[in-house]
A and B are shown apart, each in its own frame.
Chain A
Amino acid sequence: MNNLEKPSSTNHNNRYIIIGVSLLILTILTVWTSYFTATVGVSIAIALAIATLKGSLVASFFMHLITEKKLILVILFFTVIFFFALIFLPFSDTMNNVGIPNDY
């Protein structure tokens, strides 16, 4: 496949700019919502949801995942599973002790 394709990429460039602007808007949204949410759980959920959305935009468009073939997507899928294992398995142990300090 020839890397130096004919320039149909003004569309692509516009798309990237739109994504970039969306990311900036979402950043403002993240900061704005952090001032208003009350409970811990809800703040975390909203902050992570927006971050995940921003991350997905970066990954799908800037990193071209949306046009990639299966192999990379499969590898990343399993990486994400192991990422969640790394986040939740240790936490599932220590969350039994939330409220009890680390050095009790």
Chain B
Amino acid sequence: MEIPFTVSERPDTGLTNPKFGIWLFLASEVMLFGSLFSSYIILRTGSLDWPVQSDELNITIGAINTAILIASSLTMVLSWTALKEKQFKRFKLFIGLTILFAVLFLVLKIWLEYIPKIHHGHILSTNTFFAMYYLMTGLHALHILGGVVVMIFFWGPGSKMWQTNPDQFVNRIEVVGLYWHFVDLVWIFLFPTLYLL
């Protein structure tokens, strides 16, 4: 007996196993980042000397990074529709763009935010604001990095599956896309919380 619904959808749920699996993973990630937001609220409301965040963080860079991530979300979903339209070259273009946007996000974050701050002496142990800032954005950045690694795989060697099993390949890109949109969604909340409020 083969394991059913690895590529085709189960009629009553409308889901393939991998798509269901990634949604469940994302549900746990909601609780993961939720714990961080909850901790942030507690630490900030319990603090007498929480710094003015917009003094410590560069809103322009944060906003640009937000735009970059939104653009990458768009190119990600367009790479999936390209595959559904059997436009393999367009898929490669759009997922390539997604990767570039993601790398740009990380470059801006590390070179224009983290490194200057560290040189300034603002590190995890400086105060609880910086501890939360590094933890929340750092964990988010690790998620971006993970996504980039997977996307590079599917842009490169993994794309061979388009020849051997196109249905499964389309599904895999959809699954990657769901993960990627979630990472964008987290940043949509992180940005105002850390930079604007």
- A: which residues have CB within 8 A of B? 1, 3-5, 7, 9, 12-13, 16-17, 19-20, 23-24, 27-28, 30-31, 34, 43-44, 47-48, 50-51, 54-55, 58-59, 62-63, 68-69, 71-72, 75-76, 79-80, 82-83, 86-87, 90-91, 94-95, 97-98, 100-102
The segment out of B112-120, B134-142, B143-151, B188-196 that lies at the interface is B188-196
Give the residue name and chain of the B residue nearest to A71 (CB). B13
User: Is A47 within 8 A of B31, CB to CB?
Assistant: no
User: Is A27 within 8 A of B13, CB to CB?
Assistant: no
Whole-angstrom CA separation of A20 from B182 in the bound complex = 15
User: Is A48 within 8 A of B192, CB to CB?
Assistant: yes
Whole-angstrom CA separation of A87 from B65 in the bound complex = 26
Instruction: Write out the residue numbers on chain B whose beta carbons fall within 8 Å of the beta carbon of A50.
Output: 192
- Taking the closest CB of chain A, its distance from the CB of B163, in whole angstroms, is 14
User: Is B73 within 8 A of A58, CB to CB?
Assistant: yes
Give the residue name and chain of the B residue nearest to A54 (CB). B188
Instruction: Write out the residue numbers on chain A whose beta carbons fall within 8 Å of the beta carbon of B9.
Output: 1
Instruction: Write out the residue numbers on chain B whose beta carbons fall within 8 Å of the beta carbon of A4.
Output: 84, 86, 166-167, 170
User: Out of B8, B30, B171, B192, which one reaches A47, CB within 8 Å?
Assistant: B192
- B: which residues have CB within 8 A of A? 8-9, 12-15, 20, 23-24, 27, 30-31, 34-35, 37-38, 41-43, 45-48, 54, 59, 63, 66-67, 70-71, 73-74, 76-78, 81, 84-86, 166-167, 170-171, 177-178, 181-182, 184-185, 188-189, 191-193, 196-197
Whole-angstrom CA separation of A76 from B191 in the bound complex = 23
User: Is A69 within 8 A of B13, CB to CB?
Assistant: yes
Instruction: Write out the residue numbers on chain A whose beta carbons fall within 8 Å of the beta carbon of B14.
Output: 68-69, 71
- Taking the closest CB of chain A, its distance from the CB of B93, in whole angstroms, is 13
- Taking the closest CB of chain B, its distance from the CB of A66, in whole angstroms, is 13
User: Out of B37, B73, B77, B197, which one reaches A43, CB within 8 Å?
Assistant: B197
18 extra interchain contacts, Cβ-Cβ under 8 A, other than A75-B24, A94-B42? A3-B167, A5-B84, A12-B81, A16-B81, A23-B73, A24-B71, A50-B192, A58-B181, A62-B76, A62-B184, A63-B182, A69-B13, A69-B15, A75-B23, A82-B31, A91-B41, A94-B45, A95-B45
